[in-house]
Each structure stands twice: as structure tokens, then as C-alpha cells.
Structure 1
Amino acid sequence: MLFDKVRVFAVQLDGARAGAEPVFHGGQAVAGRVLLELAGAARVGALRLRARGRARAHWTESRSAGSSTAYTQSYSERVEVVSHRATLLAPDSGDVAALPAGRHEFPFSFQLPISLVTSFEGKHGSVRYAITATLHRPWAPARRAQKVFTVIEPVDINTPALLEPQAGAREKVARSWYCTHGLVSLSAKIDRKGYTPGEVIPVFAEIGNGCTRAVQPRAALVQTQTFMARGACKQKQTVVASVDGEPVGPGRRALWPGRALRIPPVGPSILRCRVLSVGYSLKVCVDIPGSSKLLLELPLVIGTVPLRPLGSRSASVGSRASLLQNWGPGMEPPEAPPEYAAVVSESQLPAASPGPVPVPRDAGVTLEGPYFACLQEFRYRPPPLYSEVDPHPPSETGRPRCMTC
């Protein structure tokens, strides 16, 4: 039987290295080969290939109706983003083709759509891409080989919207058992909205404690997974990084002049998918003993294309100067953003398997993107003083000199 003669049946992708698989983006060509190694001559009906990409959301909710009646409501939605079919081997005449013993390779290639969603594995949904080869043979069940591949949607943080500073302020009256203890205020700023994994977010904050007990400030990077199906919505939030400040005593004020919060290896934001989305936010809060916490949330976007010095310097230098002016002492120049592939390694990708991939309960999904470039020698500095760059200072009379003097 052919089943006994098949030694190797697998799908391989071009560009694969030892321990690392290629990563693709929208509009790119996916090429590879199907390997078939036979121990002896065999008859084959056909060899077909199918590539699929699906975004899926699914969860259940238990509901009760009365004291003894309960039922479970299921929500499910699925979108197909890639669909490609090809026949790699078909008999010219007759129903079967005879293949000799040995190694056989069947190359394939297809083009991905321009706009694709980043591969993702979550608690209530996923985005998966896979190539399946099916070997049909007479008088025997079909044999299949599957290869999962990763897609990353480029998210460029050098756009004007993601270079804008984010700021906010909140305050509340601390109360406990109908007793007022004082006013607690919180103001926070960050220099831009877009960051990449491995970067440090400098958090500028001011905490005012007008109550009679010490309060504890904290900052955290939170990932929010949102799943949508049948008009319903399900969310899951996970803290991926956090930093604590020093307690602020009664009647005192504290200043964060750029407290560092490093972004760990997390997947990029998913913003354009009908069934799921992945968003990030910086949450700065003040824990008040005996009362609910004071919370301030600033939106973030985690991208894959790092900050460039030329295109972004003129757009964001003014915001950095205002931050330094408003928040007192300056901070040390941050390190250059690392390459996305250097932070999110191949070993942190989910294992390629035909079935569902297990996902850690409280961990972000990590992906790889080696095709994104990163400029290494970037150092961010505040703008120089006006007197240092003005080649025509005012004259002795107080009037500015003309350009021809």
C-alpha cells in the first residue's frame, strides 16, 4: 500500500533557517515546496494545496432564568482573510499517476492580499494562517501535511497621529464611611502615543495628596483584547509591565520626572479586524487607603516600525521641550529603539501545529518581524536654546539686525 511506502510528506517554506521560520506581510509572495519521499513506486491520484487565513472569535456565557432554569449562550464569528487553492500533481490521462521511488518536490507560490491581520492567539479568539497539502491515492484515505506560517501587519509609529503627546489629569475627594479625608490629584504625560517593544516609556506625573493618609502611585502597561461576535463584545485585560512609585505622605506632592517603564516583548496592536482587536494603554493610578483608587488612562499603540530620527524629530521635538519645561528636571536621553526581531524572537512564537495552540492565561502574544528596519544611531536631544542657533542677535539699539547686515 502507498501508506507503507511514504517516508516523508511535508510542506516547507522558502527562506526558512535553522530554528527560524520566515515571517510574511500583506502583499508578499509565499513560496515553498511539498516534499514527498517514497520507499517504492506508488500510484497517486492527485496532490492538492490549500492556503487559508482565518480570524475567529468564540466564547460562551451562562445565563439564568428564574431559580431553577439555566442555559448557555454561545457567541461565534469567523472571517476568512486568505483563501488559495492549487493542484500540484494531476494525472495527464487516466485516474492515477505512477511515481517512482525516491524524493519528489512539488514547488508552489501564491500572493497574499495587501491588507492582512497580524497572527494572534487569544483566550477567546485567534488569527491563524496555514498551508495544507493533501495527497489523494486510490483505495486509501487521503494523507495531509500542514504548515502554519506567521503574518505581521506593519504598524508605523512615525505617523503624525502616533507622535502626538498624550496627557490627562484627574482628581477625587477621598471618602471612607461617609467621612471626607481630603482631595487627591493626579496629572500624567507621555511624549508620544506610538512605541515599539523594547523601548522605554518616560512617564511624567505629578501626584498631590491632600488627605490624611499616605497614598501609593503606580503605572502599568495594559493589553486589552476585544472579541466581537453577533453584536456582542468580550474583553480580557492583562498587565504586561508595571512600575511603582514612592508613597506620598499626607499634605505632600510628588513628581515623576520621566520614570522609566520598559515595554516587554508583546505583539503589535491589531486595529483593523472585524472580529477582534488588540489595544494597549498606560494606566497611572493612585491607591488610596480606605477608598477607591484614582485612575488615569492614556491610549498607546504598539507598532513594528521603530521611530526614525529624521521624519519624527521635527514633529515631536516641540512636545518633548514642553514636557521638560512643565515637569522640571530633564531626563537622560533614551536608548535607540531596538529592532522588532531583536525583542520578539522566534522562540517566543506559538508552536506550529494543526490543532489549537495553547495560550498562556496572563501573557501577551509574541511575534517576530525580521524584515522591519531599525536605525541604530538615534539619540533624542531637546532643541537648543534660541541664542545658540540665532546667527543675527539683536543690535545694541534693541532692534533685530536685517539678514544682509
Structure 2
Amino acid sequence: MVVFKKVKFFELVFTDPEKVYCGGEKVTGKVMVEVAEVTRVTKVKLLACGVAKVVWSSGAQNCKQEMEYLRVEDTLQMEDQPSDSDGSVILRPGNRYEYKFGFELPQGPLGSTFKGKYGSVKYWVKAFLERPSFPALEVQKKFQVVDLVDVGTPDLTCPVSGKKHKKMTCMFIPDGHITMSASINRKGFCQGDEICISADFENTCSRIVVPKAAIIAKHTYLANGQTKVFTQKLCSVRGGHIISGMTDSWRGKSIRVPKIKPSLLGCHILRVEYSLLVYVSVPGAKKVILDLPLVIGTSSSGLSSRSSSMASQASSEMSWLDLNIPGTPEAPPCYLDIVREDHRIESPTAPLIDELDNICDSPIFMYAPEFKFMPPPTYTEVDANKNTSVQ
């Protein structure tokens, strides 16, 4: 709300303030004006914008890039208010005047609303109130947009698999190898879905290793030919220890997709990607990592995707079913809630996993949990003379 001299009230209100819009939908609302004294208004203009922006400082150089998704300009009129030949109107105190507006979002791909450390995708509507001999007043309101990603398309329902073989050394002496293969039944998932992992591990080195899996978010910012990359480990599962000369298999091991925003892949300056890392922790050596790409979507038209989602629905405490209704998508969380400053890196994701694995995975040295014994309870002693002393 804006208050300025003759103008008592100036505000922009959406018809549905909590709505999250998709491409092709209509954004509607009204601009409300109330004056303290008789005021002539020449124009009420509307500007709607959607812009992706990336900016950061690299030494003395400022890296900055923008990409426009939406730009709509319009001049608003009141249906029941007579206007002069020049289009101006007279507003009188005691009345609240309303200027209605409405515009359609483009059908093409739109970047979902995003807020990160060095970039953002924002959508807003701004109204301007123009009067003779006075500076224009303006008021602005943001609205949320989500780009629908259907994970039921053929390219996202295909299985994803990979295999990794790494020779190990100990003090530059050959020390066997680690072999792993993993697969998931499809590439596209929605939040709340269970990702079922099939994997096989073989350990012929002298050390005891631990297999794990994690969902990783990767944010990429591009500006002036330079790139900033942030990664974040969202959730993980682990298997049992594999001793030297033994193998292990995962059948039915699963990991649930947390509450996150969909993948952002259509923007040239800002990308949000996800992947499932299946990896083996090796004491005294780098992890053996297998990267399986994921696409996190907002809806699933495919039967296999929907049936998998239904399996995880009963045990999920979060309400994610609204995401399967294209007309009423749920506003996902802010990316700042996911990416923290202390997890940013400028290199591949392997060092990040070292940072976040805080469980003792080096059974070369025996590890025994610490037990804390409870103190003895208070008690009474009764002697033969019936005299009681309490300790």
C-alpha cells in the first residue's frame, strides 16, 4: 500500500493471492485507489514482468546476465467512471476506485520461480498512478510461477543404469578393485516418490567398504562466459559393510524424493538439476561414484510413474498430491532453504560427499560404541534392631 499526499490508498491485489500459475493461465486482479481530496488521474498503467537474473562478483569483474520470460504493458480503465477526452478521470474522496487487469502467461516454457545465492527467477506486476504536476506513484506485487514438468513422457520413463570399475592402490601398491553397477526403473520422479535402486557391489581390495546412495541437487549459474556451481546433498541411504573378497546386492533398497522444486532445465543462464549418486566409501581413498541423472517434475501422466507414487503415498506425511493436478500446483520451497553457503563448491560433487559423510565408515580400526551406565538407585538398609538408615 502506498500513501502520498492526495492519495490515501493505492494497492494492487490479485484475485487469488495464493495461486501458483502455470504457462497459458490468466493472471487477474485489480488496482485500488482512494484519495484524500479531489484528484485528477491521467493514467493508470500496468507492467507485468518475468525475469531470470544471475549476478556475482569475480575479483574486479561483475558477472551479470538476464533473460526475460514475460513482459506485458497495459493502460487500465474503469468501466463505470467517465473520462475526459484525454483519458483522465476525476477521483473524489470517500470513494474507493478499482481498475481491473488481466493478462495471460506465455504457453511456452517458463522458468519456475527461483531464489538462490547468485541468481533468481522472479515474476511481478507493477502499477503506476500518473497525475498532473506530481511524480507517478507505483506499487508492486510478486506472484509465483511453476513450469510443469511431466515425468510420464517416454524419455523420462526409460530405465537409467551405469557401471563403474576402479583399481585400488595402497602406498602405490596394487590392492584389488571396486566394481559396482546400479540402475533405477525410470529417470523422472515427483516429490514424495520412492526411487527403487538395484545395485551390485564387489570388493576385492584389502579394506572394508560401505555402499551408499544420495540425491544431489546441482545449481549452475552462467554469466559473461563464467560459471558458478553449487551442489547440495538432500538425503541418503546406506548399505552394510563389505569385507575384502565379498559382494553385496541391493534389491528393494529405496530413497524418497524430498520436498523440492522441479528441475529447471530450459533457462540459458540458470539450471537446477538433480541426480542419484550411488557410491562406495573406501577408507584412505577417494569414493567410487556412479552418477544417475534425475528429472524432478510436477506431474506424472504415465501409469508406471503414478503407481509408484501411490505406493509411497500412505506412509508420507507431506501433502504432495496437489502437484499431480496441473491446474493447482503447490508452491515448492525456496531454494535458499536447500542450498546453504557452507555447501557450495566449484568442482564435481565427489568432495562434497566426503564433507557430509559423518558416520564412522573405517572398520579397519575397531569401533565400539560408548555405553553410559545409569547410576545405582537409592536404597534402604534395615538392621536386626529395626533401625532404618537411608543412603
TM-score category by the smaller chain? 0.7 to 0.9
Q: Does 1:74 align with 2:62?
A: yes
Pick aligned residue for 1:223 from 208, 217, 223: 217
Q: Does 1:33 align with 2:30?
A: yes
Which residue of structure 2 lines up, in the alignment, with residue 58 of structure 1? 55
Change in Cα spacing, 1:267 to 1:11, as seen in structure 2 (3 Å) is same
1:213-362 aligned at under 5 Å gives the runs: 213-309=207-303, 312=304, 334-335=311-312, 338-341=320-323, 346=331, 349=333, 359-360=336-337, 362=339
Matched to 1:27, the amino acid is: G
Change in Cα spacing, 1:200 to 1:107, as seen in structure 2 (3 Å) is same
Matched residues, percent identical? Answer: 34
The offset of 1:46, in angstroms, is 2.1
Output one character per residue of 1:78-98: Cα deviation in whole Å (capped at 9) or x when no partner: 111111111115952469532
Query: How many Å separate the matches in 1 of 2:134 and 2:336?
Result: 36
User: Contact 1:197 / 1:340 at 8 angstroms: preserved in 2?
Assistant: no
Change in Cα spacing, 1:261 to 1:107, as seen in structure 2 (3 Å) is same
Output one character per residue of 1:266-296: Cα deviation in whole Å (capped at 9) or x when no partner: 1111121121111111111111011111000
User: Contact 1:226 / 1:276 at 8 angstroms: preserved in 2?
Assistant: yes
Matched to 1:86, the amino acid is: D
Query: How many Å separate the matches in 1 of 2:58 and 2:173?
Result: 40
Change in Cα spacing, 1:95 to 1:114, as seen in structure 2 (3 Å) is closer
Of residues 135-144 and 91-100 in structure 1, the stretch that sits farther from structure 2 once superposed is 91-100
Query: How many Å separate the matches in 1 of 2:104 and 2:210?
Result: 53
The offset of 1:32, in angstroms, is 1.1
Query: How many Å separate the matches in 1 of 2:333 and 2:206?
Result: 49
User: Contact 2:27 / 2:105 at 8 angstroms: preserved in 1?
Assistant: yes
The offset of 1:38, in angstroms, is 3.0
Query: How many Å separate the matches in 1 of 2:253 and 2:301?
Result: 20
Pick aligned residue for 2:92 from 92, 95, 100: 100
Which residue of structure 2 lines up, in the alignment, with residue 158 of structure 1? 152
Output one character per residue of 1:173-231: Cα deviation in whole Å (capped at 9) or x when no partner: 22232122221111111000000011111111111111112112111111111122233
Query: How many Å separate the matches in 1 of 2:8 and 2:244?
Result: 75
The offset of 1:100, in angstroms, is 1.5
Query: How many Å separate the matches in 2 of 1:211 and 1:184?
Result: 7
Matched to 1:9, the amino acid is: F
Gaps of 5+ in 1: 63-71, 321-332, 351-357, 365-405
Of residues 129-138 and 30-39 in structure 1, the stretch that sits farther from structure 2 once superposed is 30-39
The offset of 1:232, in angstroms, is 2.6
Aligned residues: 324
Query: How many Å separate the matches in 2 of 1:180 and 1:30?
Result: 65
Q: Does 1:113 align with 2:106?
A: yes
Which residue of structure 2 lines up, in the alignment, with residue 205 of structure 1? 199
Pick aligned residue for 2:72 from 61, 67, 84: 84
Change in Cα spacing, 1:361 to 1:26, as seen in structure 2 (3 Å) is closer
1:189-200 aligned at under 5 Å gives the runs: 189-200=183-194
User: Contact 2:153 / 2:301 at 8 angstroms: preserved in 1?
Assistant: no
Gaps of 5+ in 2: 315-319, 342-391
* Coordinate RMSD, CA, aligned: 2.8
Matched to 1:205, the amino acid is: A
Change in Cα spacing, 1:246 to 1:191, as seen in structure 2 (3 Å) is same
Query: How many Å separate the matches in 2 of 1:235 and 1:340?
Result: 31
Which residue of structure 2 lines up, in the alignment, with residue 380 of structure 1? none
The offset of 1:244, in angstroms, is 1.9
TM-score (norm 1): 0.73
Which residue of structure 1 lines up, in the alignment, with residue 19 of structure 2? 22
Query: How many Å separate the matches in 2 of 1:336 and 1:363?
Result: 29
Output one character per residue of 1:310-340: Cα deviation in whole Å (capped at 9) or x when no partner: xx58xx99xx9xxxxxxxxxxxx93359425
- 1:359 alignment partner, SS class: helix
The offset of 1:148, in angstroms, is 0.6
Output one character per residue of 1:377-397: Cα deviation in whole Å (capped at 9) or x when no partner: xxxxxxxxxxxxxxxxxxxxx
Query: How many Å separate the matches in 1 of 2:225 and 2:339?
Result: 26
- 1:334 alignment partner, SS class: helix
- 2:4 alignment partner, SS class: helix
- 2:240 alignment partner, SS class: coil
User: Contact 1:48 / 1:89 at 8 angstroms: preserved in 2?
Assistant: no
Q: Considering only CA atoms, is the larger Rg found in Structure 1 or Structure 2? A: 2
Query: How many Å separate the matches in 2 of 1:195 and 1:8?
Result: 46
The offset of 1:39, in angstroms, is 3.9
Matched to 2:97, the amino acid is: H
User: Contact 2:260 / 2:333 at 8 angstroms: preserved in 1?
Assistant: no
The offset of 1:243, in angstroms, is 1.4
TM-score (norm 2): 0.76
Of residues 76-85 and 93-102 in structure 1, the stretch that sits farther from structure 2 once superposed is 93-102
Which residue of structure 1 lines up, in the alignment, with residue 40 of structure 2? 43
